[in-house]
């Protein structure tokens, strides 16, 4: 079936993996990638597939109602996979306004554009909102987030994502829009902007800079390889039930300090450094304000109902990830020059 699908935020980390997967797997779909190209958007992430005949890039802002109306008119989308967002917790702490604007107002603008364009004809339509496990707040040392866990967001980022989730559900409930939501744990893999823990640490190890660990490094995250997230998104977009929520996670918990020690081991091996060399760069710095202690996802609903499971264990995933960054030095170097340097100094000098 020919379908015109809008993917927002497709020039970002996860979005670029989703765009690539859909273009290759569904040549009969017309994929439109709408991205504002903020500091986090990078068309280089898509340079291997941007000439494919079923791909179109549109630069624009999801908060721009007039632009969105024109886009829906031009492409007559039947499906929307909404990833565009401000995504970094630290930036949300120093500058929350952009998170409110894009994550909340932008999501509402998209919902309104879809609602208006579909005009109550929801046959064959789907609005899929990509969200995060951070909406559930922070766990203690035990327990897992299920789809029934109450929302308790703690940072401006997670509060803005929680707000967008509520609005998407409200449009489903009130107007009957065919919505579906997934909440995923921490992703890792190639093409991630080096403000996030893993690519930042890989780059710092490679360039012999301190690896900044917030607080004591005791905070725990549940890491999922980005391709496995893209696989879950594909499955939920096609087979998820309307109005449902699906949790996605790696069943792969690491405290930050354990994770960084693991990464240092891999880096020592890949860079032919003596064992223990990279770990000397570990530096404990001032904690993140309001730092959530632990996230961990129960993804049994997705596994049971749609048959998904992560394809890679962490050993393999982290090898692939390190290999990707080492092989894509030019990608990294283009990012870390210019604006990134200013961000890095402001973010880390105060710690």
- Residues with a known catalytic role: 133-134, 157
From ligand DAU, ligand NAD, none, which one binds at residue 13 (CB under 5 to 8 Å depending on kind)?
ligand NAD
Q: By the 8 A CB rule, do 297 and 242 touch?
A: no
Token couple for 54: 């079923």
Looking from the CA of 86 toward its CB, the CA atoms found within 13 Å total 25
**CA-angle at 71, arms to 66 and 74, nearest 5°:** 125
What are the DSSP calls for 96-115, one per residue?
THHHIIIIIIIHHHHHHHHH
Task: Work out which of 79, 106, 156, 249 binds ligand NAD, going by CB under 6 A.
Answer: 106
- Min CB(299)–ligand NAD separation in Å: 12
Segments of the chain assigned E as strands: 3-8, 29-35, 55-59, 79-82, 126-132, 179-184, 186-188, 211-214, 220-225, 245-248, 253-255, 282-285
**The only residue of 9, 41, 79, 212 in contact with ligand DAU, by rule CB under 6 A:** 212
The Cβ-side half-sphere exposure at 249, using a 13 Å CA radius, reads 23
Please tell me the distance from the alpha carbon of residue 320 to that of residue 15, in angstroms, as a whole number: 19
Q: How far is the CB of 252 from ligand DAU (least distance, A)?
A: 12
Quick one: which of 233, 319, 308 has its CA closest to 17? 233
Q: Tell me the window of 97-105, 213-221, 226-234, 274-282 that interacts with ligand DAU (CB under 6 A).
A: 213-221
d(CA 243, CA 263): 39
Cβ at position 302, least distance to ligand DAU in Å = 16
Is 16 a binding residue for ligand DAU by CB under 6 A? The answer is: no
Return d(Cα 323, Cα 193) in angstroms, integer. Answer: 16
Give the residue, chosen from 71, 139, 180, 197, that forms a contact with ligand DAU under the rule CB under 6 A. Answer: 197
One of 98, 288, 320, 324 touching ligand DAU (CB under 6 A): 288
CB of 97 to ligand DAU, least distance (A): 17
* 22 near ligand DAU (CB under 6 A): no
| Beta carbon nearer to ligand NAD, 55 or 281 | 55
The listed partner (ligand DAU, ligand NAD, none) that binds 38, CB under 5 to 8 Å by sort, is: ligand NAD
One symbol per residue from 222 to 261: x for binding ligand DAU (CB under 6 A), - otherwise; what is it?
Answer: ----------------------------------x-----
Binds ligand DAU by CB under 6 A, chosen from 78, 92, 219, 247: 219
State the residue number with the nearest CB to ligand NAD: 12
Contacts of 176 (CB under 8 A, 6+ apart): 120, 122
**Per-residue interface string for the shown chain with ligand NAD, residues 76-105, x marking contact by CB under 6 A:** -------xxxxx--------------x---
**Contact call for residue 184 and ligand NAD (CB under 6 A):** yes
Which CA distances in Å does 345 have to 164, 324, 336, 340?
31, 25, 12, 9
Residues binding ligand NAD (CB under 6 A): 8-9, 11-15, 35-38, 40-41, 61-63, 83-87, 102, 106, 130, 132, 161, 184, 186-187, 193
């Amino acid at each position: 079936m020919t379908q015109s699908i809008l993917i927002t935020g497709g020039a970002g980390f996860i979005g670029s993996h989703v765009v690539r997967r859909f273009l290759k797997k569904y040549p009969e779909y017309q994929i439109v990638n709408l991205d504002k190209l903020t500091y986090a958007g990078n068309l280089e992430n898509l340079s291997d597939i941007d000439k494919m005949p079923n791909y179109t890039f549109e630069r624009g802002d999801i908060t721009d109602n007039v632009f969105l109306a024109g886009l829906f008119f031009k492409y007559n989308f039947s499906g929307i996979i909404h990833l565009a967002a401000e995504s970094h917790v630290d930036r949300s702490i120093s500058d929350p306004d952009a998170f409110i604007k894009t994550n909340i107002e932008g999501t509402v603008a998209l919902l309104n554009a879809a609602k208006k364009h579909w005009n109550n004809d929801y046959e064959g339509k789907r609005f899929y909102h990509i969200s995060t496990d951070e909406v559930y707040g922070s766990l203690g040392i035990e327990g897992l987030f299920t789809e029934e866990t109450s929302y308790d967001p703690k940072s401006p980022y997670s509060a803005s994502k929680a707000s967008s989730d509520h609005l998407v559900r409200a449009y489903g409930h009130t107007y009957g829009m065919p919505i579906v939501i997934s909440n995923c744990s921490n992703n890792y893999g190639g093409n991630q902007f080096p403000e996030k823990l893993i690519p930042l640490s890989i780059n710092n190890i490679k360039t012999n800079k301190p690896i900044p660990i917030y607080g004591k490094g005791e905070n725990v995250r549940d890491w999922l390889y980005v391709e496995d997230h893209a696989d879950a998104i594909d499955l939920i977009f096609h087979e998820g039930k309307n109005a449902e929520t699906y949790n996605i996670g790696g069943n792969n918990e690491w405290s930050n300090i354990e994770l960084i020690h693991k990464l240092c081991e891999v880096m020592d091996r890949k860079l032919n450094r003596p064992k223990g060399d990279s770990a000397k760069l570990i530096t404990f710095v001032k904690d993140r304000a309001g730092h959530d202690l632990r996230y961990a996802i129960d993804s049994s609903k997705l596994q049971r109902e749609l048959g998904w499971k992560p394809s890679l264990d962490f050993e393999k995933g982290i090898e692939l990830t390190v290999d990707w960054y080492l092989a894509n030095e030019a990608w990294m170097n283009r990012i870390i020059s210019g604006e990134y340097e200013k961000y890095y100094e402001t973010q880390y000098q105060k710690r």
